Amino acid sequence: MANHLFDAICNAIKSPDTVFIETDNGTTWTYRDMLECSARIANAIVLRGVAPGDRVAVQVPKSAEALMLYLACVRAGAIYLPLNTAYTAVELEYFISDAAPKLVIISPDAAEYLHNCVFQAGARMETLGANGEGTLFEFTAEQPEAFVNAHRNPDDLAAILYTSGTTGRSKGAMLSHDNLLSNVLALQERWHFSSADRLIHALPLFHAHGLFVAANLTLLSGSRMDLLSKFEVDRIFAVLPRATIMMGVPTFYTRLLQDARLTAESTRHIRVFISGSAPLLADTHSSFFERTGQAILERYGMTETNMITSNPYDGARLPGSVGYALPGVSVRVTDPTTGAQLAAGEPGMIEVKGPNVFKGYWNLPEKTKEEFRDDGYFITGDIGIMEPDGRLAIIGRNKDLIISGGYNVYPSEVENELNAIEGIVESAVIGIPHRDLGEAVTAIVVREPGAKVDAAAIATGIERRLARFKQPKRVIFVDLLPRNAMGKVQKNVLRDTYRNLFVENGSEMQVV
């Protein structure tokens, strides 16, 4: 039986004895290990009742085993639903009830508090820890190391990734086997990926960047990666001498720049440093070039579309530009209101069409329709300028979104939580430029007259409700929020007023 994505992965294997993964605790996994382990897990999840098309929700620490679980889902025809490990139980309850998974796999230490929620959703639960411990591998070990892959067509779903909504709750972006495969093949061609490559993988495994770009690209090139459990500067320098590629969010590069070990000599083995998920400052690009002689290659993508554009591998990698559309991907810039295509050089809405573009939002057909033009282009919400030669620059966003260290934070979600705290009248959450994170979540809050609520009370109020990365790094109390004639809060005025908040005082969290 044909399994669109996994067949391609198998075809890319050069030899089963080639090393696929080396973890930071020194364990190596060959491609044979990958085939055997993913087969065992696929057998195990099928025994637990998972059938093709069922969702398998996963919130587990990063590990090689977690990657095997993803591959097992692909083989079993299940829809993999990875969840940020920072999400709180309150956030998880929503994803589990919305996606109605057949199976939920979580870290052993979360089992107790999530038990009721999983049970109420009618799902089964297994656990998987950072070192393979937990119930999943207890019964996986007894399973056969062969598995007949489920038949999956190119348009069948491989994954659902939740992305936060500008209003309301998060939406599940449905990604097909071919959305993932076509995109990786385009990247492979653009970035000259081959089996000789060795990737430094320091990204999380629950987002498009770490899972689909980094891990799928390694698999589909039959190459090798150093799977680090998280980004840490020391660990990066430990593996740099043996690697050929590193991928990261801009924060990785700003942190590396702060270390004296970053030199042309220490990076000499790397053939390309790739950045994405958030804007790379021109200053980071040029400082990195001055220190290492390496021009970081910036690319642009989105959960809903996978990767869209990339700077060239061979040509000039320009700071401030995200490069050209990937092979097979069409990009245009339009008038945000009318949707009419704009001439080169004019700023407008970036729209995308191609085999990379997702199949819609889970259970939200109306929302899906709103985000596509009639001719099939997806409206990204990013504002850009296309040069006459097809080079794209992103100059802003037409969506109220903060990108902090590569994680998206939707202000309305944080504002709803703040406004629910007793003593708070209203709030405005904005992103303020931040040396380390790019933008730092900042809350401007209006209290009821005489209310005692302070920053500490706010921190306690949201602690269990919002993932840590969404929690404001600073809280500022004001008497009134600035509004325009229509009564809308003027976030641009707030961003302007507080733009130097983190410049003067360093990057530590501080409450004003």
Interaction of residue 281 with ligand MLC, rule CB under 6 A:
no
Min separation Cβ 295 and ligand AMP, Å:
14
Residue 437 near ligand MLC by CB under 6 A: yes
Does 276 participate in binding ligand AMP (rule CB under 6 A)?
yes
Rounded CA separation 297/271 (Å): 11
Q: 225: which strand partners?
A: 21, 199
Selected binder of ligand MLC within 407, 410, 477, 502 (CB under 6 A): 407
CA distance to 9, 80, 271, 368, per residue, from 172 (Å):
25, 11, 35, 10
Q: Does 378 bind ligand MLC (CB under 6 A)?
A: no
Q: Are strands 324-325 and 306-310 parallel, antiparallel or unpaired?
A: antiparallel
The residues, ordered by sequence, that sit 6+ positions from 257 with a Cβ below 8 Å of its Cβ are 284, 287, 288, 291
Q: Which amino acid is at 390?
A: G
Max CA distance (Å), the chain: 71
Strand order in the sheet with 55-59: 124-127, 103-106, 55-59, 79-82, 157-163, 171-176
Q: Whole-number minimum distance, CB 122 to ligand AMP, in Å?
A: 29
Residue 209 CA to residue 145 CA, distance in Å, equals: 29
Q: Between 127 and 404, whose beta carbon lies closer to ligand MLC?
A: 404
Nearer to ligand MLC, 139 or 469 (CB): 469
> Considering only residues 186, 225, 302, 475, which one is a binding residue for ligand MLC as defined by CB under 6 A?
302
Residues in the chain: 512
Residue 163 lies near ligand AMP (rule: CB under 6 A): yes
Our finding on whether 310 is near ligand AMP (CB under 6 A) is no
Strand order in the sheet with 306-310: 28-30, 19-23, 224-227, 198-201, 245-248, 272-275, 297-302, 306-310, 324-325
292 binds, among ligand MLC, ligand AMP, none (CB under 5 to 8 A by kind): none
Q: Which residue is nearest to ligand MLC (CB)?
A: 405
- Rounded Cα distance between 20 and 24, Å, is 13
Assess 101 for contact with ligand MLC (CB under 6 A): no
Residue with tokens 């309301």: 168
Eight-state DSSP code of residue 281: P
- 429-468: contacts with ligand AMP (CB under 6 A): none
Task: Tell me, residue by residue from 199 to 228, as one string, x for binding to ligand AMP by CB under 6 A and - for no binding.
Answer: ---------x--------------------
Helix or strand holding residue 31 (H, E): helix 31-47
Closest C-alpha among 390, 367, 389, 387 to residue 379: 367
The residue among 47 and 503 lying less far from ligand MLC, judged by its C-beta, is: 503
List binders of ligand MLC among 40-59 (CB under 6 A): none
DSSP-derived secondary structure letter, 244: S
Q: Is 301 in the site for ligand AMP (CB under 6 A)?
A: yes
- Single residue of 203, 227, 349, 428 touching ligand MLC by CB under 6 A: 203
Question: Should residue 170 be labelled a site residue for ligand AMP when binding is judged by CB under 6 A?
Answer: no
Rule CB under 6 A: say whether 187 interacts with ligand AMP.
no
Q: Which residues in 222-241 contact ligand MLC (CB under 6 A)?
A: 230-231
Which residues 6+ apart lie within 8 Å of 338 measured at CB?
A: none
- Supply the minimum distance, in Å, between the C-beta of residue 406 and ligand MLC: 3
Interface with ligand MLC, residue 250, by CB under 6 A: no
Q: Does 279 bind ligand AMP (CB under 6 A)?
A: yes
Residue 404 interaction partner, one of ligand AMP, ligand MLC, none, beta carbon < 5-8 Å per kind: ligand MLC
Cβ-based neighbours of 351, under 8 Å, separated by 6 or more: 331, 332, 333, 334, 373, 377, 378, 379, 380
Q: Is 82 one of the binding residues for ligand MLC (CB under 6 A)?
A: no
264 or 509, CB closer to ligand MLC? 509
Q: Could you say which of ligand MLC, ligand AMP, none residue 251 binds, taking C-beta under 5 to 8 angstroms by partner kind?
A: ligand MLC
Angle at 495 between CA 492 and CA 499, to 5 degrees: 145
With CB cut-offs between 5 and 8 Å by kind, which of ligand MLC, ligand AMP, none does residue 289 bind? none
Q: What does 284 interact with, of ligand AMP, ligand MLC, none (CB < 5 to 8 A by kind)?
A: none
- Residue selected from 126, 298, 351, 413 as contacting ligand AMP according to rule CB under 6 A: 298
**DSSP string computed for 39-65:** HHHHHHHHHTT--TT-EEEEE--S-HH
Task: Among 96, 205, 394, 462, indicate the residue that binds ligand AMP (CB under 6 A).
Answer: 394
Q: Which of 12, 21, 68 minimizes the C-alpha distance to 45?
A: 68
Which residues neighbour 145 within 8 Å (Cβ) at sequence distance 6 or greater? 35, 36, 37, 39, 40
**Which of the choices ligand AMP, ligand MLC, none does residue 162 contact, using the CB cut-off of 5 to 8 A by kind?**
none
Number of residues that bind ligand MLC (CB under 6 A): 22
Whether the CB-CB separation of 291 and 263 falls below 8 Å is answered with: yes
User: Which residues, 401 to 420, sit near ligand AMP by CB under 6 A?
Assistant: 403, 408
> Which listed option, ligand AMP, ligand MLC, none, makes contact with residue 394 (CB within 5 to 8 Å by class)?
ligand AMP
Which residues of this protein are in contact with ligand MLC, per CB under 6 A?
Answer: 203-204, 207-210, 230-231, 249, 251, 276-277, 301-303, 404-407, 437, 468-469
Which residues of this protein are in contact with ligand AMP, per CB under 6 A?
Answer: 163, 208, 276-279, 298, 300-303, 322, 380, 382, 394, 397, 403, 408
